[in-house]
Amino acid sequence: MLLPHPTADQISLATVLSVLGDPTRLGIVAYLARREGMPMNCSQFLDLGSKTNLSYHLAKLREAGITHAEVLGTSRLITLRRDDLDARFPGLLDSVIAGAKDFPLAFKGIEAMDA
Amino acid sequence: MLLPHPTADQISLATVLSVLGDPTRLGIVAYLARREGMPMNCSQFLDLGSKTNLSYHLAKLREAGITHAEVLGTSRLITLRRDDLDARFPGLLDSVIAGAKDFPLAFKGIEAMDA
């Protein structure tokens, strides 16, 4: 099943920035960036928030065009829309990801998951 | 008179992104970027919104550490905090400014003012 996604042309700078401007969502994006090319399952972000909370944040990211989500059975496979974002706003995603490295909250759960 | 500003270290990525994620504020930032080094007065943004509306947006930008504002008599002189932002989040401001060029709303007032 494919959830609704904006096309690349529909991705808006104001929406992308506003949706990225949240510690939990920055944490999710930073994590996806570190595992690029490897689709992540919702449950792998559980250290960043409750299930309900994460569903909300993941929907925001998808609706803004920052992530791509595919429903596969009971799982949701999430990837960054790097090509679309890089084409629309060159350099933006890289600078955000680099900035999120200084962001301890964003990496709290990530380090634990890597251990 | 100097209004309250965060120090460079206090500038938060999440706050900067969230505050930039608004069409009017993107318009203000794009305009400041085009006139860099030249402090702008509040009234020069009036095409982007009403006075009350602009005061709100300009306060948001200042409190997030994106702009510097100085009260001089009845004027407020506004500049981008480019050095601080570039040091904290390299490339972010440039990619946002470049993206705001595709943003017709942001430049509506600007073209009129340039004419």
Q: Dump pLDDT digits (tens) for A5-40.
A: 999 999 999 999 999 999 999 999 998 998 887 888
If one counts the domains in chain B, the total is 1
Q: What is the ipTM of this complex?
A: 0.86
Nearest-Cα distance to chain B for A18, in Å, is: 4
A111 part of a folded domain: no
Query: Does the beta-carbon distance from B21 to A16 stay under 8 Å?
Result: yes
- Burial of A20 per CB tally in 10 Å (0-12, 13-18, 19+): buried
Q: Which residues of chain B neighbour A86 with C-beta distances below 8 Å?
A: none
Nearest-Cα distance to chain A for B95, in Å, is: 5
Q: What is the pTM of this model?
A: 0.87
Nearest-Cα distance to chain A for B73, in Å, is: 33
By residue range, what is the domain housing residue B64? 8-104
B109 part of a folded domain: no
Rounded to the nearest 10 degrees, the angle between the axes of helix A51-64 and helix A23-34 is: 70
Sign, CA dihedral B67-B70-B75-B79, equals: negative
Q: Which residues of chain A neighbour B94 with C-beta distances below 8 Å?
A: 91
Domain CATH for B35 = 1.10.10.10
Report pLDDT digits (tens) over B81-108: 999 999 999 999 999 999 987 554 444 4
Residue B112, pLDDT score? 43
